[in-house]
Amino acid sequence: MAQNLENGRFAVSTWSLHRLLGATYPYSPDPDNSAARKEPYGPGAAELIEIPKQLADRGIGRLEICSFHLPSLDRAYIAELRDALARSGVRLQTLLVEDGDPSNPQTAERDIRWIAGWVETAAALGADNMRVIAGKKAPTDENLTRAAEHLSWLAAQAQGSGVRVVTENWFDLLPSPREMNWLLDRTGGEIGLNGDLGNWSAPAKYAGLADIMRRAEICHAKADYNASGLDADDYRRSLEACRQAGYEGPYTLIYDSPFFADEWDGILLQKAFVEEFYEEKQRAAG
């Protein structure tokens, strides 16, 4: 699939800045759960509406927003946030819907309708994509079929909105390329793939990524860290798997480590690593 890289090849997810943002608003399809402000990472030092300018100041032209980082779903706030993106020249690549389980036999009907309610917000924000969870249940035939049917229904609800529904190689329903490819085949192109480099475990993940990334439209480029810093071997092998698969889309920099006190330091380190990786490949190709 041809990729639009008009705003550059790099995005940042607000998850990579969860300490900077601090507060979360855990929206949920479960009526017993509250979306009231919580501070699991402290009070934070920035508001979500400030992030587009911080991205632009660092030469990054794409943003992904976790649903739980939206302090309000009020139309006026959503319009204000969209204006902040436009002023900064930052593209909202994806709204990440962070709850719901289309594979759960008890709650799937409720959850998929709740997830569908986010399409309007994604469209109002100007998001290109809306990433949803395919399922958290074990990959039985029944659970996979249930998830596929609900995701196809969701894609139909999003038609005409300008928002592409994508899912991710994440949680128990999609533990390997077999289930991931089955789901994409079953939904017949109605659901796109956001490939994630950090959701499957090494060493099997490299072959798995080389398989599924040929179908990916966007990518969460998460790096692992150890006591010495970024795990360069793992990150390089993960990027090589993407390259082997022919992936040419954008990379969303996912930084999720306490190694750097300033999350931007980790984000920019990963950006430089990916840039150097591709520069080396270009030099090698002559």
Average per-residue pLDDT in the chain? 97
Whole-number Å distance between alpha carbons of 231 and 115: 35
Whole-number Å distance between alpha carbons of 250 and 129: 13
Q: What is the pLDDT of residue 245?
A: 98
List the beta bridge partners of residue 94.
64, 129
Question: What average pLDDT does this structure show over 113-123?
Answer: 98
Q: What is the pLDDT of residue 1?
A: 43
Q: What is the pLDDT of residue 219?
A: 98
pTM of the predicted model, to two decimals? 0.97
User: How many residues comprise the chain?
Assistant: 286
Per-residue pLDDT reduced to its tens digit, 204-247: 999 999 999 999 999 999 999 998 999 999 999 999 999 999 99
Regarding beta strands 192-196 and 129-131, do their DSSP bridges make them parallel or antiparallel, or are they unpaired? unpaired
Handedness of CA 178, 183, 184, 186 (dihedral sign): positive
Name every residue whose Cβ is closer than 8 Å to that of residue 224 and which is 6 or more positions away in sequence. Answer: 198, 230, 231, 234, 235
Which domains are present in the chain? 10-284 (3.20.20.150)
Q: The tokens 């480099």 sit on which residue?
A: 197
Whole-number Å distance between alpha carbons of 286 and 280: 10
